A = this chain, B = another copy of it.
Amino acid sequence: MQKFEIHIIGCGSALPTPKHLPSCQVVDVRDKLLLLDCGEGAQLAWRKTGLSWQKISHILLTHAHGDHVFGLPGFLSSMGLLGRTAPLYVHGPSSLRPFVQCVVAQFCSDLDYEIHFEAVDTTRHQLLFEDRSMEVWSLPLQHRVPCCGYLIKEKPGQPHIRREMIDFYQIPNWAINRIKAGQDWTTPEGEVIPCSRLTTPPDRVRSYAYCTDTMPSPPLAEWLQGVDLLYHEGTYAEAEAALAERYHHSTARQAALLAREAHVGKLLLGHFSSRYDDESVLLREAQEVFSPTLLAHEGLRITP
């Protein structure tokens, strides 16, 4: 399988604690990196991942609340100080434009790379960008302010070569990439060996969805159908359901109901309220509804 890995940098909520940093994670799709949200302290915690700043092409922000963006100024500055030259695309609701523009104007004017802000329409589920490896889609969320999640879908890779068939037909190395790309092979005797006999199908494509912050939002179940891994906020336990409703957040159980309805592969809970010293209550309440549920934690690496 090709690389598709999520690194959790922070999965706390509004108040950072010694246990949890605010929201931030990295998605590594075949060595192309996306940063999802950028809470305070992200730049320092990032270094523990061992990943290269140079490989970040896009930063995807969900909304204009501090615990999702206060690490951005430092992250942008330090990338510049460490020699970044490639342009960077920062996506997020248009309400974040003034903050990003202010930071770029005041603190990034002497850096050697360009920063482009791309406003995301938080009311539409649509393709934002793609490359050879992935598609990135927006997911409308329902929070106190305009907010969107992100859905990252792998693109199909190439079929796998069947080494024993290559050996049997004595096919030279220069032909391998053509066969992977779908060409049949013609032997010196003129026999046509169909590509399908020389290869096995590509790996299944995987998908990851990042949904925070949001109250339960019915359309999500359709957009998330069959997603392999869903990170969803489970800020509160059921005992605090009234708080969840008041602040437009979800309980862990509500996240699990969505995961079940959307038939996702696994649910990863995060954005934990600082009131829980022990989040096992959140895990338990979610697993009652949807058993393949996990708790996020700083330093977790997970594959969809």
Contact = CB atoms under 8 A, between A and B. Distances in A.
A73 B74 CA distance: 12
A77 interface: yes
Contacts of A18: 44, 47
A226 to B, nearest CB: 37
Contacts of A106: 64, 95, 98-99
Contacts of A78: 14-16
A98 B107 CA distance: 11
Contacts of A82: 15
A102 B107 contact: no
A16 B43 contact: yes
Interface residues of A, number: 28
A66 interface: yes
A81 interface: yes
Interface string A1-25: 0000000000000111010000000
Contacts of A107: 64-66, 99
A140 interface: no
Contact of A40 (B74, B81, B98): B74
Contacts of A47: 18
A164 to B, nearest CB: 50
B81 A15 contact: yes
A106 B95 CA distance: 9
A41 interface: yes
Interface string A62-78: 00111000110110011
Interface string A186-198: 0000000000000
6 contacts: A14-B77, A14-B78, A15-B78, A16-B44, A40-B43, A102-B102
